[in-house]
Chain A
């Protein structure tokens, strides 16, 4: 018997023996498929792809990889828009999409336990079917993408104004460390009820925003909330940034809206099928703001609507120009494609289904006090680089911070355009950082670019944490310059 020469070959043989050969894929078409995502970030081929179906299998994969010193990059749909699941140093891509069970929905204690492959679509279907009294928050991410990874990456959703980024919704996780060790965090580490992360020391944080570099999470307990019987989504078109965000700020600290968001004018044109809108008619609205108002009771809904109307009147009295609110249901009647803004989960096909299919952004969290300047600077930078100024904003957790996301679609097959997009994103990263925002789902190149600005003590401890949990540095290497 001959011993395989390379660690990857050895691992492939051991994994095929342990899990079955059909779960270990080494053919060039498959490994190429997992080598890149839809962003401009350069891809890298893995050596093999393994499809796991259970926690025990994840433990097996990590134990074998650990033994061989082979990198392991966990992935579900690979739509994080940050190059975060590109296997920069080869090794194993661990596909967790088939671990897609919602293991429990605890209605009285308002939480569910999900596996990594559970998608937004799965959660919505399950709650609508079996637990209509409960609701979850949804991102704009396509319905088949992972809820768990979004929560691990501090995602932003339609309940984030009320409840903060999605990591704040986590009650605890079950995770496999690099050597195969299994642990639970949060309330589930002690109690059979996983209804809170408190009062345990917060080991859940060891897995948040580390992008799979500290462990592979196999279960997550995450909060649900009571559903609301009545829901209105109103759009208000605004004509200048200061007026628009003055209005948003006046409402984000009131208990009126579940969600407030803003998208700049090119988004509506993309929705109407314009591939790359660069022209803005001077009479056209600049920002479309949307407001979700929900209640269980007509009187409360009426009261919220009245506060909303007063805030709009006040914004107009301050000199802002706004069109009257348009109900999303009316917008859908006018143009059925508006349905993409009507309910969750949704698929923004206009961002995904275009020639070349490239999608990227600099998404960031930061001070709403700097929004207006940041939006203007971001839009100007995008226009200067010849791209539509697509900006998405959302106040988070009662307005304590806000989202500033600068989005670009591009033709990934066109090398010159990819180069231009890289230059644009570098400039946009500079813009957001200058305004005090921090890029979220932080790509490796962004960390490297600003490493000198990040507190050295922070980096030292982050690296120590990584080393403690993953001494051989096999888990998703390249993230946060941790190795």
Chain B
């Protein structure tokens, strides 16, 4: 597993969100390429939660809190950070002050490559393992209004 949560029992939701996002991306060839030779520490803040990503040897460890020293930091409110994780454009939140960064920007660009839009998730009906008869794809999950 290239992305692990260190001390999951002491971790915040941010750690788990990042583990899920980064883990799936890191498992792809593009993700593996982005991580190859990437040896940096990045502090990520979302609201008042913070975690440190220690990237090394093609893997990422997610540590709770701020682990010194870090090369770069990025932060914003949780919704903005999750939007970033989904690959939403970072310029608008940056310009409106909802996203901030400090330190060396180069590791952050690598991190952005590891975010991006993840592969499409399975449809809700397909992913809901049930003992009941299999359900058709629900029409009620409508296109965005």
Interface residue ranges, A against B (CB under 8 Å) = 119-122, 124-125, 128-129, 132, 135, 142-144, 227-232, 237, 265, 268-269, 272, 274, 277-279, 281-285, 294-295, 298, 301-302, 305, 323-327, 329-336, 339-340, 342-343, 345-347, 349
Interface string of B92-103 (1 = CB under 8 A from A): 000000000000
B127 close to A339 (CB less than 8 A): yes
Once the chains are docked, how many angstroms separate the CA of A330 from the CA of B17? Answer: 12
B130 close to A347 (CB less than 8 A): yes
Across-interface contacts of A268 in B (CB, < 8 A): 13, 16
The count of A-to-B residue pairs whose CB atoms sit within 8 angstroms is 147
B145 close to A298 (CB less than 8 A): yes
B140 close to A272 (CB less than 8 A): no
B131 close to A144 (CB less than 8 A): yes
Rounded to whole Å, the gap between the CB of B141 and the closest CB of chain A is: 6
Interface string of B106-145 (1 = CB under 8 A from A): 0000000000011011101101111111111011111111
A335 close to B145 (CB less than 8 A): no
Main secondary structure of the interface of B (DSSP, over half): loop
- Within the complex, which residue of B11, B117, B118, B135 is in contact with A128, where a contact is CB–CB below 8 Å? B135
A-B contact pairs, 9 of them (CB 8 A): A125-B134, A227-B139, A232-B144, A295-B145, A305-B145, A334-B86, A335-B16, A339-B128, A343-B128
Contact residues on B (Cβ < 8 Å of other chain), bracket: 35 or more
- Within the complex, which residue of A121, A231, A232, A298 is in contact with B135, where a contact is CB–CB below 8 Å? A121
- Within the complex, which residue of A122, A142, A237 is in contact with B133, where a contact is CB–CB below 8 Å? A122
Interface residue ranges, B against A (CB under 8 Å) = 8-14, 16-17, 20-21, 47-50, 64, 77-80, 82-83, 85-86, 117-118, 120-122, 124-125, 127-136, 138-145
Rounded to whole Å, the gap between the CB of A131 and the closest CB of chain B is: 12
Across-interface contacts of A334 in B (CB, < 8 A): 17, 20-21, 82, 85-86, 118
A333 close to B86 (CB less than 8 A): yes
A122 and B86 in contact, given A281-B11, A282-B48, A339-B121 (Cβ under 8 angstroms): no
- Within the complex, which residue of A279, A340, A349 is in contact with B10, where a contact is CB–CB below 8 Å? A279
Across-interface contacts of B142 in A (CB, < 8 A): 229-232
Once the chains are docked, how many angstroms separate the CA of A135 from the CA of B141? Answer: 13
A339 close to B122 (CB less than 8 A): yes
Rounded to whole Å, the gap between the CB of B71 and the closest CB of chain A is: 22
B13 close to A143 (CB less than 8 A): no
Please name the residue on chain A nearest to B131 by beta carbon: A144
B48 close to A329 (CB less than 8 A): no
A323 close to B77 (CB less than 8 A): yes
Rounded to whole Å, the gap between the CB of A309 and the closest CB of chain B is: 14
A333 close to B118 (CB less than 8 A): yes
Once the chains are docked, how many angstroms separate the CA of A282 from the CA of B64? Answer: 12
- Within the complex, which residue of A129, A265, A333, A346 is in contact with B13, where a contact is CB–CB below 8 Å? A265
A333 and B132 in contact, given A231-B142, A282-B48 (Cβ under 8 angstroms): no
A324 close to B136 (CB less than 8 A): no
Across-interface contacts of B11 in A (CB, < 8 A): 279, 281
- Within the complex, which residue of B8, B14, B49, B129 is in contact with A347, where a contact is CB–CB below 8 Å? B129
B49 close to A135 (CB less than 8 A): no
B121 close to A333 (CB less than 8 A): yes
Across-interface contacts of B83 in A (CB, < 8 A): 330
A326 and B48 in contact, given A124-B135, A332-B124, A342-B124 (Cβ under 8 angstroms): no
Please name the residue on chain B nearest to A327 by beta carbon: B144
Once the chains are docked, how many angstroms separate the CA of A333 from the CA of B36? Answer: 25
6 additional A-B residue pairs with CB within 8 Å, beyond A122-B133, A272-B13, A334-B85:
A143-B131, A231-B141, A237-B78, A272-B20, A283-B12, A334-B82
Across-interface contacts of A329 in B (CB, < 8 A): 141, 144
A144 close to B130 (CB less than 8 A): yes
Please name the residue on chain A nearest to B12 by beta carbon: A281
